[in-house]
Amino acid sequence: MAWACIMPEELKVVPRGLVCLANLDTRHQSVHRSIWELLEKERSNAPLCYRLVDIDEQYPHSKAKRATYEWYVPKGILKTNWMHKHLHLIPSLVVIFFELDWNDPLFKEKQNELKDKIDMVRTNLDGRGATISVVLLQNKNSFPTVDDVYSSERDQMANTLCTYFDIPKRSLCVLPVLPQPDNLSAWIDRLEQTFIESSQNYYMNEIRRVKKHKETLNNITHQLLHIRHQFKVGFFSELKQDIPSALKAYKNAYSYLTENARIHDTNILEMKMVAGFLTYKICRISFELSQPVEAINHFRRHADIFKSKVGPVDLAFEHKAWLSKQFQIFGDLFALCPQAIQTQHPGFYYQESAYQSMARKQIAQTTCRRVEQTDFDPSEFLKPTEFYGQRPWRQHHQSMEISDAQKEREAVAALRDAESRVNHSELIISLLVLAINDFKKHSSNRMKLYLMYDLAEEYASSKDYDKALNYYNHIVQAYRAEQWWPILKSILPSALKCAYLSANLENWIRFSLEILNPNINLPVQVKTQTQTNLENLLRKSLPPQVESTIPSNDDKWKVQLVKQTINIDADTLKGLFECKVYFTHEAVSVDCEITLQVALKNGFPLPIEFNQLSVSFSLKEYDGLVCVTDPKQLTFAPNEQRILSFNFNPKNDHIQRSLEVAYVSLIYGNANQTCIDLQWRNSLHAIPTFQPTTLTPKWRTKAGHVLWENLPMRRKTNILMRAAEVQLSIEHQLPVLLYESYPIKIRIKNHENVDIHNATLTCTCSNTDDTSQTLDDTFLFYSTADSNNETTTSICSMTLETINKDTEIEQDLYVRCNSNRSREIIIRLSYERLNLHCMKEITVPLSVVNPFSIQFQTMGMMMEPLASLHAQEPFILMIDTKCTSAIPITIVSSNLKPSQFIVNECAIESQINNTQLKLDEVVTEGFCLRTQPIATPVVQNLLVGEYSLYWKRSSHPQIPELCTTFSLSDFNVEQQQIFIEVAIPNHVPLQEPFQVNYRIHNRSNIVHEYKVNLEQINLVVAVSGSTLTSLLVPPHSSSDVNYTLVATLCGFVQLPKFKISMIRPQTQEIDESIERTLPTHIFVVPSLKTDQ
Amino acid sequence: MACCVAVLIKENLIYLRRSTEELKFLFLIHASIDILDDKVNQLTKPGGDRDAKDFYLGLLYPVEEYKIYGYVSPTRVKFILIFEHSTSISLKDADIKLLFQRLHQAYIDCISNPFYEPVTQLKSKRFEQVVSSLMVQTDSMASSCR
């Protein structure tokens, strides 16, 4: 089909203006060679194409240009040699290189030599418009410096030379590169610019010349010329690197061709071909200009216009071939464009190209026949032509009628003969492969499958069954995975046929099983035949029976039937035969039996008998325990489902391990011959699917019949230690109080049917809080006698000799916590029974709180709060104890031990013995104390003493009490200058005189003189005698002032106010606060009844 | 004339009606899942222009003989209509969108049936009627345009 699918190379290259380089001796002169290499080197978007020519190169002759086309009838659109001529033969510029220095001694001779060469070239160009340029290669030392570039002398010489050579001035260039060039590439770049200018000039003139013809053309006889001229303009524009004009010209030519030109059967091939060329050019330029949408739209239009223009019916295959080629070419062009997307990429065009080729193949197969004996020469009809797309047997024929019908018939026969020799499959396959690659690239995997199906069919039709099978395998798997049964239904019979023809046993079995799947909606007899074939193959070693249309392949099959096992991944069978495994228990204790149920559901259309069912486990020791070979259990009617149950014992070494079903294997066929091993692996994993549960229950279930979907799956069971048949319970009352011996009562009840001997009860503390690593703040002991034993630790263990059957024993456990964090106690009972280790364990979480808090404060003798203690003066220490836990506690006693700095005013004895405190209750006791003299005026952080509390939780009186000791420190003591001690009765009778003694202590080192006055406030308490006096007190001693008073009123009455002020030394003042230490009131009782 | 109507959930074909028993339709519908999925992903991409009402996805991909149009419901049920290339030239996007909306409505009516089990084949006389009308009506539309 070369004549219709031709895509000339000249069309595909990017046209570049041709420049011929003459007189360049690249072989012997290194400088010449470097010039050539620099010009010729690979560049993207190089503007020009260079060619080395001899000076006497002959250029194609120019035809005589006709002045008018009036009587001219064109013979065709585009000559086959035209593009080649303009790309490779006719230069736009001839450059003559010549070594000539301005100051060359032989300047004249060389000048003449050059002139001869120029003339020779000019003659050979024979009227072609190409420019001639001269490049003088000069010594770089003789090249003028910047100052005298325009030296008139040289200018003059150059002008003279140009005139002498008859070339324009800008065609003369000078290249100072001898003997060795510096920075040659820069020179060459500049040189090339002048070349480009000349070359483009030439092509512009050509374009003008062609365009000039247009006025002389008419639309009736010169249609072909219109197209030809526009094409030429486009091509010259490309050579000129004027891409937009080229595109415009090509588009003009195309629209003229499709809209104005007459297309009929005799010229349709020529029209289609030229249209194809134009489309190629338009699309390629559009893609290069990054306008893929433009290209696609043009091509779509092109395809739509010409799809229906079949041309002569006898040569319909030719049309399909041409169409296929169009799509393929467009695909090739598109492939170079990076802007392809998922819905628009070359794959679609390759796909369509492949389909057109398939159509061509079909037409060819029905209409084309080899011509064996002919009375004509078929090659005569396949000769190259002068114009593209013309028929070799009637070139230049422009009429709509066919003059020689006989010749035409022969020609058709010859073309059909040629067509029948074409290997269409190869073509189609290569196109499909291209398309598949593109679809893969654009993540259209499903479309890829479609094409793979086409590919498989094509391979099968070209009898390449192995390759076809490869693809069939892939697509069958993919469609099965998506459960597109209707497609599978159509594919599978041909896949099976293919497997049969290639005698591929494994694939044949696989496809047979696929066909038997109940989801595949094939006729019953097909399915029955398939299963019968399968059974005959496995049971009787008979090759499968096939339709009579398929060539028998029995010989190859007989060789296949040897002893072998074909593994089939049964997970993929989906509905043909299903399997579910179910361990009845999630965990099994080691002394019990494991029960495994294997449920099987048959979907084969005919009854089927399997040979063996076995289950493999993750622990190899259990393999073989579950195995059935009984044919009765392994025979299934259609749609029958059956549950097989297996029991076996776990092994002692597998305690704490899990047993998993690895796979289920079902063997069909005799193990000595070919047999199938169906294996279920992944489908045994019960995957939580998101399948919507049906709202409507399935009513149509028979009683006692379990729906397959409702059968449970569990492929994993855990083997456990034997469970201890004892009841372990505890009784305790949270929270734990800090430091106490917290009692926990453990009760153990024996539920075994025998006595338990030598059971071990172990209690340990586990830190719930990992940050604190102090292990020694928890102590566990079984009796309070051990509570302060040094051996107690955070673990304790004991052996219980005998626990009688059905009895309960109790054991106390005490926990002492020395910090506040929460913790857990693990209580574990373990023993041996039937040589099996049994264990029971409970965990007790503990939270620890403070039982109480202590607060203390100091007061003066008048109960006034003291910020600091006064040396040698008495004070009262008040201690508050507050219960802070929900647990009631009992304070057994308390004890205050004064330090050496303190003396007690009175005997210290506990005032809060046996007091019970509930939450937030406070108990207070007070002690009267006096500080010892101090050495310095102020002492800080004085230790007053230690306060100990003896307490226990109220609920457990038998537990020994605990002693918690607080240190009473952080008191400040000051030395006061003066201290007044008052001796006054507690109460006095009415109207009886009583004595009040004020003893004034001077604690300073100097003599003090005071003025003392007892100020009468009212007459309720009257003072007898003088009230005002002065008093002299030596250092570190005291003086007394005595007053006699009489109370005249009963009750708590105010005393006269005692005032003291300093007389000597005058500088010192007495602190006002001293008045607060003095009593202000006295209690007056009625006078005793006298005998009167 | 719509020559093929299909409804899919994920990649499961739950309804198919074609004018001829051609395998090609199945392949084309199956292949268009790729494009539909991709378009839906682009549509619902975070930050994308998400207009929940407009799930008409237009022409899916170029095939020579047919035009394949797609539509996705808000719950990602895919509807596909295939037209023969020659008859569909007169059809505008708006017309096709209308057809899809009718199909979608019919689908909603159909699955509102409490006895319909989700993701199974659609079997409903009413739905069949609507599909038939789609296949016929477009035919008459095209012929009246001629």
Q: How many residues are given for chain A?
A: 1092
Distance from chain centroid for Cα A211? 63
Q: Which two tokens stand for residue A1043?
A: 């007053």
Does residue B140 surpass a pLDDT of 50?
Answer: no
pLDDT tier at B146 (50, 70, 90 boundaries)?
very low
Which among A303, A342, A453 has CB closest to B35?
A342
**Local mean pLDDT, 10-residue blocks, chain A (1092 residues):** 75 88 84 85 80 85 71 83 90 88 81 87 83 84 58 76 84 79 81 89 91 80 87 92 92 90 84 92 92 92 89 87 92 88 89 92 86 72 83 78 80 85 90 92 89 93 91 92 89 91 89 90 90 88 80 80 86 84 87 88 90 90 87 88 89 84 90 88 68 50 67 84 82 82 86 82 70 62 64 74 83 81 83 78 84 83 78 83 85 83 77 82 85 78 83 81 81 81 85 86 84 80 80 85 86 84 76 76 80 54
Cα→Cα distances A502→A13, A451, A1028, Å: 45, 22, 144
Instruction: Give chain A's domains with CATH numbers.
Output: 11-208 (3.40.50), 746-842 (no CATH), 852-974 (2.60.40.10), 978-1085 (2.60.40.10)
**B117 in contact with chain A, both atoms CB, cutoff 8 A:** yes
Angle (nearest 5°) at CA A991 between A986 and A994:
45
Report the interhelical angle of A184-213 vs A223-239 (nearest 10°): 170
Q: CA-CA distance, A873 to A867, in Å (whole number)?
A: 14
- Return the pLDDT at A787: 55
Angstroms from B146 CA to nearest CA on chain A = 19
CB pairs under 8 A between A and B: 66
Q: Quote ipTM for the complex.
A: 0.90
**B75 in contact with chain A, both atoms CB, cutoff 8 A:** no
Which among B23, B26, B62 has CB closest to A348?
B62
Which among A446, A453, A694 has CB closest to B33?
A446
Residues of chain B contacting residue A453, judged by C-beta atoms under 8 Å apart: 27
Cα end-to-end distance, chain B, whole Å: 13
CB–CB contact B118 A692 (8 Å): yes
- Return the pLDDT at B144: 40
Tokens 């096992």 belong to residue: A565
Residue of chain B minimizing CA distance to A346: B62
pLDDT tier at B53 (50, 70, 90 boundaries)?
low
CB–CB contact A487 B26 (8 Å): yes
**Residue A901 DSSP SS3:** coil
Residue of chain B minimizing CA distance to A490: B23
**B90 in contact with chain A, both atoms CB, cutoff 8 A:** no
Q: Which two tokens stand for residue A88?
A: 């490779």
Cα→Cα distances B89→A145, A294, B92, B95, Å: 74, 20, 8, 12
Q: Which two tokens stand for residue A228?
A: 């030809």
Residues of chain B contacting residue A486, judged by C-beta atoms under 8 Å apart: 13, 16, 26
**B86 in contact with chain A, both atoms CB, cutoff 8 A:** no
**B12 in contact with chain A, both atoms CB, cutoff 8 A:** yes
CB–CB contact B34 A446 (8 Å): yes
Output phi, psi for B3, to 5 deg. -100, -5
CB–CB contact A450 B31 (8 Å): yes
Q: CA-CA distance, A1041 to A261, in Å (whole number)?
A: 152
Q: CA-CA distance, A68 to A72, in Å (whole number)?
A: 8
Instruction: Give chain B's domains with CATH numbers.
Output: 2-138 (3.30.450.70)
Residues of chain B contacting residue A450, judged by C-beta atoms under 8 Å apart: 27-28, 30-31
**B14 in contact with chain A, both atoms CB, cutoff 8 A:** no
Q: pTM of the full predicted structure?
A: 0.70
Based on C-alpha coordinates, what's the Rg of chain B? 15
- Return the pLDDT at A994: 86
Tokens 């059909």 belong to residue: A416
Residues of chain A contacting residue B75, judged by C-beta atoms under 8 Å apart: none
Does residue B141 surpass a pLDDT of 70?
Answer: no
- Return the pLDDT at A515: 92
Residues of chain A contacting residue B34, judged by C-beta atoms under 8 Å apart: 342, 443-447
Residue of A453, A484, A694, A700 for testing the chain B interface, max B β-carbons within 10 Å = A484
- Return the pLDDT at A148: 53
Residues of chain A contacting residue B114, judged by C-beta atoms under 8 Å apart: 695-696
CB–CB contact A449 B23 (8 Å): no
- Return the pLDDT at B104: 92
Does residue B94 surpass a pLDDT of 80?
Answer: yes
